[in-house]
Chain A
Amino acid sequence: MITIKNLSKTYKMPDGSQLEVLKNIDCHIAKGDVISIIGPSGTGKSTFLRCLNGIDPATSGEIIFGGMNILDKNTKLNKVRQKMGMVFQSFNLFDHMTVLENVSFGPIRILGMNKTEADEKSRELLRMVGLEDKADVMPRNLSGGQKQRVAIARSLSMNPDCILFDEPTSALDPTMVGEVLHVIRQLAQQGMTMLIVTHEMIFARDVSTRVLFMCEGGIYEEGTPEQIFSNPQKTATRNFIGSIRQSR
């Protein structure tokens, strides 16, 4: 579904120097894959996701998604993104719309669905994430966990082929992490293709089909959850897994 070839990303720093954040990444994501991306802070996990949907343009390489090369100048990025949802660490719900409007906005404005149909579908999605009763509330009156569940429903409203999650639970109180992870687990069971950057190791182990360990701008080691968590091959991976075990 997504093929990534030789992907690199360099930031130009204000002082003129170059910061190479992603280095020659190759990766293939098949339909139905649930991929957890783990790794130390600052290794480019977020940048990797943001390059995939083009919010941050990659410097070189190829990203093929649904037959389109995202790095091609002629590709309509908005079309790509309609099929590739994204859920942010800081939720980013549209502050000036109600919960229901947040979810129905995409179908109405982008997919051209009529309002009644879109509202009905949006309520269904809200029911799925357990927030049907919050339809007419403004986002500022929701808890973090509720916001993130609305954000997932919003993303689903576009019927995407895959969804990118960037640390969906990192900004949440520990008490709210469970409700969000529960929704993501549900999606995994339904066969949604997902890339999830996370620090929730138990969740990653349970839910993923594959785990990518990123370190210093590259995919350092990858494998099944079993391989990465129980039997890491490389030292850095082992150290990282070990450090997380200890902190638990």
Chain B
Amino acid sequence: MKRINIIILLLLSFLLLAGCMKKEERFVPQTMADLRGHTVAVNSGTTQEKIARMVTEKENVQCLPGGLDALVALDAGQSDVALIERANMFSDDFHRLALEEAFTDSTTQEPLATAMRRDDVALLQEFTNFFDSLDVTGGLEEIKSRWLNPNLTDNQKKVVIRQKDVPTRGKRVLHIGSDYSYPPYTITVNNEKTGYEIELWQRFCMTHGYGLVCDVYSFDALLPALMSKRIDIIAAGMSITPDREAKVSFAPADDYSVTSVLIRKEGNKGNRGFFESVKDGFDRSLVQQDRWEMIVDGFWVTMWIFFGSLVLGVLLGAILSYMQMSRHRTLVLMANAYISLMRNIPILVLLLVMYYIILAGTGLSAMMVAIIASAMNFGAYIAVMFTTGIKAVDNGQKEAGLALGLTPFQTFIYIIAPQAARHIIPVFQGEAISLLKGTSIVGYISIVDLTKASDLIRNASFEAFFPLIFTAVIYFCLCWLLGKSLDILLKKISK
């Protein structure tokens, strides 16, 4: 036991060290042509991705799916340069990174705007009118002076409308989807979802008496979510491209993406001591803006989904196992078909199918969908476990129970089940731990669980190390505790 603790400690400190080591080589490009032959980090789906694909070789483009992960990748020494939207830099969080702009490139410009479904003509019309009047009254100018101002970098000063100021109910409830990770358009400040594009829609909803609900999706999931009517608006600093225009309609655009080419500053992190950088990372990712609260909220969401699908899954598994052992061939066949279906579909695909297709029109919350999908999958494994566990109990035990005068049901409860449990619990332990770890994919359907919370923190603080390690440690402790408690249960029933 002692030795295991030491090994874990060693591993953790190794990770800590690795997280603080940076590539020292520095590359300073002057023009876009210099980028050829160098690795370029970009955020997926942005104008910059397109540019990178033009200026450097395919294999040198590192396309990162989350918010501003390109910055984190550059800072971590994963690439030579990063191409980002110039406005992304207008924040303190950016200035804390030891990164700087090599040059600005304005050869390729694309307009940015929020998007709606094409058939939602009324919404587009209303928003366009609102936007125009905002422009006329000078309101738009004021909003831009906060969010799109290179000299105002304190994000907390930019927020004037809080989420709680905007009702979530009204004549119509609009769902606004975003990754809240693309400043200044959409961002998380003090655990609040805000940003330039978000504020525009908040104001729109307040004037029209509409409710506004903020849903978290990764950038790639936004278009599918809009198409399947899970959300009504995409606000993610999305650039207007012909491809996208064919599918959605964009709000009036008055902002253009300008590309900045970023590099690491001289001696990036090299001049900071190990403990200093650990302390700084800890501070930025957990302490500042009370970001740890997101972890706590995410923790509870993970717990809800885990226990919900555990209970539902066990119930489902019991029913399936009963069907498998029934004398009716059709029931057996149905159960077996269901089990093989569930065992051969990746849980993530199942989750997306349930969310976007099967349960799309039911109005069930994403949380319920996640619990149902996890339970559907878990139930199949539980059923197999129950069936094999029960069949492993000698038939003589059942006959002895019946011969004593028990009903078949009593025989099951008092004689078979306790003996089957001894076969089942060790396997159950592994499955329950898999279930808990498996909940980490629910971020795909707009749920902010533990994993997604660490994503959001990483994107808001540009600090990859701490949120991830912290989350890993929490998962480890949870799974360990779960395993231990089942161990104790097993010891109790097998005296």
Interface, chain A (partner B; CB < 8 A) = 53, 55, 77-79, 81-83, 85-86, 88, 90-96, 105-106, 109-110, 138, 154-155, 158
- Given A96-B419, A109-B414: A82 touches B399 (CB 8 Å cut-off): no
**Residues in A neighbouring B419, C-beta threshold 8 A:** 95-96
**Residues in A neighbouring B495, C-beta threshold 8 A:** 138
Is there an interface contact between A93 and B400, defined as CB atoms closer than 8 Å? yes
> Closest CB of chain B to A108's CB: distance in Å?
10
Is there an interface contact between A82 and B405, defined as CB atoms closer than 8 Å? yes
Closest 9 CB pairs of A and B: A82-B405, A92-B400, A92-B396, A86-B403, A81-B405, A78-B407, A96-B418, A106-B404, A78-B405
Is there an interface contact between A92 and B402, defined as CB atoms closer than 8 Å? no
Is there an interface contact between B410 and A81, defined as CB atoms closer than 8 Å? no
With beta carbons under 8 angstroms apart, the residue of A92, A106, A138 that contacts B405 is: A106
> Closest CB of chain B to A123's CB: distance in Å?
19
**Residues in B neighbouring A96, C-beta threshold 8 A:** 418-419, 422, 493-494
Q: A96 CA to B394 CA in the complex, in Å?
A: 12
**Residues in A neighbouring B401, C-beta threshold 8 A:** 94
**Residues in B neighbouring A88, C-beta threshold 8 A:** 396, 399-400, 403
- Check if B13 is an interface residue, CB within 8 A of chain A: no
Is there an interface contact between A85 and B406, defined as CB atoms closer than 8 Å? no
Task: Count how many pairs of residues, one from A and one from B, have CB atoms less than 8 Å apart in the complex.
Answer: 59
Is there an interface contact between A109 and B406, defined as CB atoms closer than 8 Å? yes
- Check if B415 is an interface residue, CB within 8 A of chain A: yes
Q: A53 CA to B493 CA in the complex, in Å?
A: 32
- Check if B129 is an interface residue, CB within 8 A of chain A: no
Is there an interface contact between B400 and A94, defined as CB atoms closer than 8 Å? yes
Is there an interface contact between A90 and B396, defined as CB atoms closer than 8 Å? yes
Q: A155 CA to B404 CA in the complex, in Å?
A: 7
Q: List 29 A-B contacts (CB under 8 A).
A: A53-B403, A55-B403, A78-B406, A78-B407, A81-B403, A81-B404, A86-B403, A88-B400, A88-B403, A90-B396, A92-B394, A92-B396, A92-B399, A92-B400, A93-B400, A94-B397, A95-B397, A95-B419, A96-B418, A96-B419, A96-B493, A96-B494, A106-B404, A106-B405, A109-B406, A110-B404, A110-B405, A110-B406, A158-B405
Interface, chain B (partner A; CB < 8 A) = 394, 396-397, 399-407, 410, 414-415, 418-419, 422, 493-495
Is there an interface contact between B410 and A109, defined as CB atoms closer than 8 Å? yes
With beta carbons under 8 angstroms apart, the residue of A81, A91, A93, A155 that contacts B402 is: A81
Q: Which residue of A lies closest to B400 (CB)?
A: A92
Q: Which of B394, B399, B410 has the most CB of A within 10 A?
A: B399
Q: A188 CA to B191 CA in the complex, in Å?
A: 83
Q: Which residue of B lies closest to A80 (CB)?
A: B405
**Residues in A neighbouring B402, C-beta threshold 8 A:** 55, 77-78, 81
Is there an interface contact between B414 and A105, defined as CB atoms closer than 8 Å? yes
> Closest CB of chain B to A153's CB: distance in Å?
12
> Closest CB of chain A to B403's CB: distance in Å?
4
Q: A90 CA to B396 CA in the complex, in Å?
A: 8
**Residues in A neighbouring B399, C-beta threshold 8 A:** 55, 88, 92
Q: A95 CA to B495 CA in the complex, in Å?
A: 11
Q: A94 CA to B394 CA in the complex, in Å?
A: 10
**Residues in A neighbouring B407, C-beta threshold 8 A:** 78
